[in-house]
């Protein structure tokens, strides 16, 4: 599914509208909806994050101070390690000194380089002061008046104006979830689905044209096994089979797999059934379709709970492309025959990429090569992202190298391609997460258990809540807790699945964040002010140090999004969201809002915080709540 920024923000508008109607958002919701509805128009006025703007300014300063190196050295700006020295820091001086050393009139030391950069720095209105530290680090303090204007502008024009630059119009294929037909989705699929959805949502927010592909396993040996079992299960064979035969796919798969493993004659017949299926025998295709449809219904139960949209593009889609692909590779000498198999040997790789097996069959390597070619030639992708477990890293490295050797993937890498690997979900025993019986945990049951466990908490906090409000809150917190518990970890690490931890009302959890947002909405609601009108008429004014700190943290939303996409690490968004909630609490502890002389400005800071939190929730795929 391809979505532009308007559609992504439109979904957030709808979410806010529903929340306002169902949870009594009062005056909080209309302002947010007004701002988001103008976001698409304001996107054209984006100027980048604070870091991007500072880098542009310091780039001008570097090029002006050292014209001989103009265009050769990129400005490096990052948050300052110690806030007491500044908000940001430029770290180019030492490297520049090394490049300039020995040239006529070269600066004597890195500090002199830093001084020359500062002397040539253009006026931006952003910088309140600079200072030098160490051998040549330039500390930068952002001007509080500029920060106030920056936040005010966002409130009036929408948070989409803060979307990072450089992604608008890019065609991105995100390949994620990818369960196997006739098998239960397990926690590995849960991780792939959640991570992929966040990456897709964030790219969509930044204006990319995203195609969300679900590369399901819907072709191969297991279907011969299943179809042959179904054919022998009834006296009338496949013609007598009905939807009842695939009603419980797990039972069907286990029974068929047992016969396949234990009976050599059945294994032979199953393999013959694969050939019949691939040759297009009608009753085999009908049985295959029934199995696929039953799986889709089970998969959709997961996707509905997670609010994830995918376009199915299974292995069967690429099947007609495999024979022509191998013929092309052989004709051009990219692939050669080895021990009866057709292989692509890649320099520096210990094993070849087998594009056709010795028995004439095709495997994952063949399908994945065809997929790369199709996504570049037909989808015109600028960027292809695969989200699977870390165990498949070597496979994708080999596929990408093979695609490059074949010329399907341009060697200049104008088409970016990434494998986004992730670690395991562990149980309390530190082993792979399974049920007490040792079976794979059904994801529908896992999600619904999280929802069930939070119901009592919702009822305790809101004894007056209607059944519909309890349902909405428990879904948002239960399903959101599962997502957040996964996303807050570095994706390459393993983590322990714990309902108690993820549903905690304290610490870095979805439940805590949703409560934090609801508290801010309550402040705005209790003020009785028309926050939408206030956003258009009042201005943020920053006097107290906690106001400045909050405005700066709000403004760093763009950098969190930027950082997440640079390395495809969704935990950067959860870290930012937690930091934002923490900084807001510090502000609210020391700065009275309602009834203070600064009420207008501080209400705007509350609204800017909640709007930014809502944008984070939308990117993380978590339903927002205004009252809990």
* Percent of the chain scoring above 90 in pLDDT: 78
Residue 66 pLDDT > 60: yes
Q: Which residues contact 352 (CB under 8 A, 6 or more apart)?
A: 338, 343, 344, 345, 346
User: How many angstroms separate the CA atoms of 465 and 458, rounded?
Assistant: 8
pLDDT band, very low/low/confident/very high, at 30 (cuts 50, 70, 90): very low
Yes or no: say if 223 and 274 are a contact pair by the CB < 8 Å rule. yes
Work out the pLDDT band at 442, boundaries 50, 70, 90: confident
**pLDDT score of 239:** 77
Domain covering 443-620, topology: Isoleucyl-tRNA Synthetase; Domain 1 (1.10.730)
Residue with tokens 């830093």: 114
Largest CA distance in the chain: 95
Amino acid 237: pLDDT: 80
6 or 604, higher pLDDT: 604
CA dihedral of residues 276, 277, 279, 283 (deg, nearest 10): 90
According to DSSP, the residues that pair with 211 across neighbouring strands are 173
Q: Where do the domains of the chain lie? A: 50-143, 171-217+314-422, 221-300, 443-620
- Residue 40: the pLDDT is 39
Q: Which of 25-29, 57-61, 187-191, 378-382 has the lowest mean pLDDT?
A: 25-29
Q: What class, spelled out in words, does domain 50-143 have in CATH?
A: alpha beta
Checking if the pLDDT of 56 tops 80, the result is yes
For residue 558, pLDDT over 60 is answered with yes
**Model pLDDT, residue 440:** 67
382/170 Cα distance (integer angstroms): 6
- What is the DSSP-derived secondary structure letter of residue 179? P
Please give the span between the terminal C-alpha atoms of the chain, in angstroms, as a whole number.
33
Distances (CA, A) of 101 to 95, 106, 108, 109, 114: 10, 6, 8, 9, 14
Angle, alpha carbons 42-45-49 (nearest 5°): 105
Tokens representing 99? 């490049």
Paired tokens of 96: 């520049």
Q: In 138-161, which positions are buried (b, 16+ CB within 10 angstroms) versus exposed (e)?
A: bbbbbbbebbbebbbbbbbbbbbb
3-state secondary structure of 628: coil
Q: What CATH number does domain 171-217+314-422 carry, 3.30.1320.10, 3.40.50.2300, 3.40.50.620, 1.50.10.10? A: 3.40.50.620
CA 558 to chain centre: 15
Cα torsion 204, 208, 209, 213: sign:
negative
Phi, psi (degrees; rounded to nearest 5) at 258: -60, -45
Tell me the backbone φ, ψ of residue 388, rounded to 5 degrees. Answer: -140, 175
Place of tokens 């502000």: 587
Q: Could you give the percent of the chain with pLDDT greater than 70?
A: 92
Instruction: Determine the pLDDT at residue 438.
Output: 58
φ/ψ of 419, rounded to 5, equals: -105, 120
Measure the CA–CA gap between 275 and 277, rounded to whole angstroms.
5
Kindly report, residue by residue over 245-272, the tens digit of the pLDDT. 777 888 889 899 999 999 999 999 999 9
Q: Contact, 128 vs 142, CB < 8 A? A: yes
Residues 6+ apart with CB under 8 A from 361: none
Cα-to-chain-centroid distance, residue 543 = 36
Residues 184-243 pLDDT 10s: 888 889 999 999 999 999 999 999 999 999 999 998 888 999 999 999 987 778 877 777
* pLDDT surpassing 50 at residue 138: yes
Q: At residue 32, does pLDDT exceed 50?
A: no
Does the pLDDT at position 501 exceed 90? Answer: yes
d(CA 628, CA 614) in angstroms, rounded, equals: 15
> How deeply is 11 buried, as exposed, middle or buried, from its count of CB atoms within 10 A (0-12, 13-18, 19+)?
middle
Q: Which two tokens stand for residue 488?
A: 């807050």
Q: What is the spatial distance between Cα 137 and Cα 527, in angstroms, rounded to a whole number?
A: 45
φ, ψ for residue 128 (rounded to 5)? -85, -45
Is the confidence at residue 9, as pLDDT, over 70? no
Q: What is the pLDDT of residue 248?
A: 83
Q: Average pLDDT, whole number, for the chain?
A: 89
How high is the pLDDT of residue 307?
Answer: 97
Edge-to-edge strand ranges of the sheet holding 88-90: 77-79, 88-90, 137-142, 127-133
- Classify strands 171-175 and 383-389 as parallel, antiparallel or unpaired: parallel
Distance CA(116)–CA(67), nearest Å, equals: 12
21-25, 48-52, 483-487: least confident range = 21-25
And the tokens for 83?
């806030």
Q: Report residue 216 CA to chain centroid gap.
A: 19
Rg (the chain; Cα; Å): 28
Write the DSSP assignment of 407-476 as a string of letters: TSS-TT--SEEEEEEE--EE-TTSSB---TTSSPPPHHHHHHHHHHHHHHHHHHH-TT--HHHHHHHHHH
Query: Would you place residue 439 in the very low, low, confident or very high pLDDT band (cuts 50, 70, 90)?
Result: low
- Would you say residue 579 has pLDDT above 90? yes
More confident residue, 580 or 102: 580
What CA–CA distance (Å, rounded) separates 144 from 127? 9
Residue 187, pLDDT score: 84
Sign of CA dihedral 204, 206, 207, 210: negative
Residue found under tokens 């207008």: 600
**461-499 CB burial, b ≥16 within 10 A, e <16:** eeeebeeebbebbbbbbbbbbbbbbbbbbebeeebebeb
Residue located via tokens 């990072």: 164
Q: Residue 6 pLDDT > 80, yes or no?
A: no
Lowest mean pLDDT among 34-43, 271-280, 602-611: 34-43
Quickly count: other Cβ atoms within 10 Å of residue 266's Cβ.
18
How confident is the model over 367-422, as pLDDT tens digits?
999 999 999 999 999 999 999 999 999 999 999 999 999 999 988 778 999 999 99
């Amino acid at each position: 599914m391809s979505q532009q920024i308007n559609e992504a923000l439109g979904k957030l508008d709808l979410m806010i509208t529903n929340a306002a109607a169902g949870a009594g958002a009062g005056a909080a919701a209309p302002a947010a909806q007004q701002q988001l509805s103008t976001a698409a128009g304001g996107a054209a006025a984006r100027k980048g994050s604070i870091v991007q703007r500072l880098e542009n300014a310091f780039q001008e300063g570097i090029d002006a101070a050292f014209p001989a190196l103009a265009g050769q050295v990129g400005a490096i700006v990052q948050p300052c390690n110690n806030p007491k020295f500044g908000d940001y820091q430029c770290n180019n001086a030492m490297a520049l000194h090394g490049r300039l050393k020995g040239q006529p009139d070269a600066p004597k030391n890195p500090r002199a380089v830093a001084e020359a950069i500062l002397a040539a720095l253009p006026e931006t209105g952003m910088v309140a002061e600079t200072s030098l530290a160490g051998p040549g680090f330039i500390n930068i303090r952002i001007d509080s008046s500029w920060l106030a204007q920056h936040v005010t502008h966002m409130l009036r024009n929408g948070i989409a104006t803060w979307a990072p630059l450089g992604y608008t119009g890019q065609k991105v294929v995100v390949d994620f979830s990818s369960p196997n037909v006739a098998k239960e989705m397990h926690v590995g699929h849960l991780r792939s689905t959640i991570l992929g959805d966040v990456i897709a949502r964030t790219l969509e927010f930044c204006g990319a044209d995203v195609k969300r592909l679900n590369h399901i396993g819907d072709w191969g040996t297991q279907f011969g096994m299943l179809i042959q079992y179904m054919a022998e299960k009834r006296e009338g064979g496949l013609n007598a089979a009905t939807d009842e035969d695939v009603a419980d796919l797990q039972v069907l798969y286990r029974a068929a797999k047992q016969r396949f493993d234990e009976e050599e004659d059945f294994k032979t017949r199953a393999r013959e059934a694969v050939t019949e299926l691939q040759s297009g025998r009608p009753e085999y295709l009908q049985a295959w379709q029934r199995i696929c449809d039953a799986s889709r219904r089970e998969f959709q139960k997961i996707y509905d709970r997670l609010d994830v949209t995918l376009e199915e593009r299974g292995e069967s889609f690429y099947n007609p492309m495999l024979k022509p692909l191998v013929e092309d590779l052989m004709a051009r000498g990219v692939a050669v025959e080895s021990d009866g198999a057709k292989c692509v040997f890649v320099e520096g790789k210990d094993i070849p990429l087998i594009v056709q097996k010795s028995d004439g069959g095709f495997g994952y390597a063949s399908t994945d090569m065809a997929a790369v070619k199709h996504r570049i030639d037909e989808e015109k992708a600028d960027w292809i992202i695969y989200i699977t477990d870390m165990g498949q890293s070597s496979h994708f490295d080999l596929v990408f190298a093979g695609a490059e050797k074949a010329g399907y993937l341009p060697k200049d890498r104008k088409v970016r391609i990434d494998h986004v690997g992730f670690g395991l979900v562990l149980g309390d025993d530190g082993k792979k997460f399974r049920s007490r019986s040792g079976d794979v945990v059904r994801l529908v049951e896992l999600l619904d258990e999280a929802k069930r466990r939070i119901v009592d908490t919702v009822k305790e906090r809101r004894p007056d809540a209607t059944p519909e409000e309890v349902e909405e809150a428990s879904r948002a917190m239960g399903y959101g807790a599962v997502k957040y518990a996964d996303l807050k970890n570095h994706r390459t690490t393993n983590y322990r699945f714990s309902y108690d931890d993820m549903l905690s009302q304290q610490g870095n959890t979805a439940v805590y964040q949703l409560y934090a947002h609801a508290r801010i909405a309550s402040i705005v609601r209790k003020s009785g002010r028309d926050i939408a009108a206030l956003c258009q008429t009042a201005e943020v004014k920053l006097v107290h140090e906690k106001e400045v700190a909050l405005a700066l943290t709000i403004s760093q939303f763009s950098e969190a999004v930027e950082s997440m996409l640079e390395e495809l690490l969704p935990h950067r968004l959860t870290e930012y969201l937690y930091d934002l909630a923490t900084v807001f609490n510090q502000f609210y502890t020391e700065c009275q809002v309602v009834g203070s002389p600064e009420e207008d400005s501080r209400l705007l800071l509350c609204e800017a915080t909640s709007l930014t939190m809502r944008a984070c929730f939308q990117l993380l795929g978590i339903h927002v709540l205004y009252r809990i």
